[in-house]
Amino acid sequence: MADSDKNSNQRNQSVCPFCGSKARIRSSSRITALYAEGVVECSNIIECGWRGWFATEILSSITPSLRPSTVSLPLSPYAIKRQEKAKQLTKNPFDPNRDQMPLFESH
């Protein structure tokens, strides 16, 4: 099995960058609402034994939260594209006011 196949089967699993074995998160601390750091350790203790420092960061929203918050995150490029597509689909070509049409109509 190629290394890339092995990695795709372990989507939520960290992988040791040196031997490809599973890597476990030993400790982590949240620095901000969007950023955390911690220690990650290779499970292949006898043949590898690597330990490292990792960071994880939330970069953007795909679907914005419905809950109000002080956290400010940009929309992901994917979400912006999806929003543009939805805007185009709601436009009726026979509606003379189509350019003033809101994206979401309130009922």
Q: State in angstroms the smallest separation of the CB of 27 from Zn ion.
A: 18
CB of 7 to Zn ion, least distance (A): 14
Site for Zn ion in 57-96 (CB under 5 A): none
Residue 23, CA atoms < 13 Å, CB-side half-sphere: 23
Q: Is 52 in the site for Zn ion (CB under 5 A)?
A: no
Q: Strand runs (DSSP E) across the chain, as ranges?
A: 14-15, 22-32, 35-42, 51-57
As a whole number of angstroms, the distance between CA 46 and CA 21 comes to 12
Interaction with Zn ion in 8-47: which residues (CB under 5 A)?
16, 18-19, 21, 42, 44
Footprint on this chain of Zn ion (rule: CB under 5 A):
16, 18-19, 21, 42, 44, 48, 50
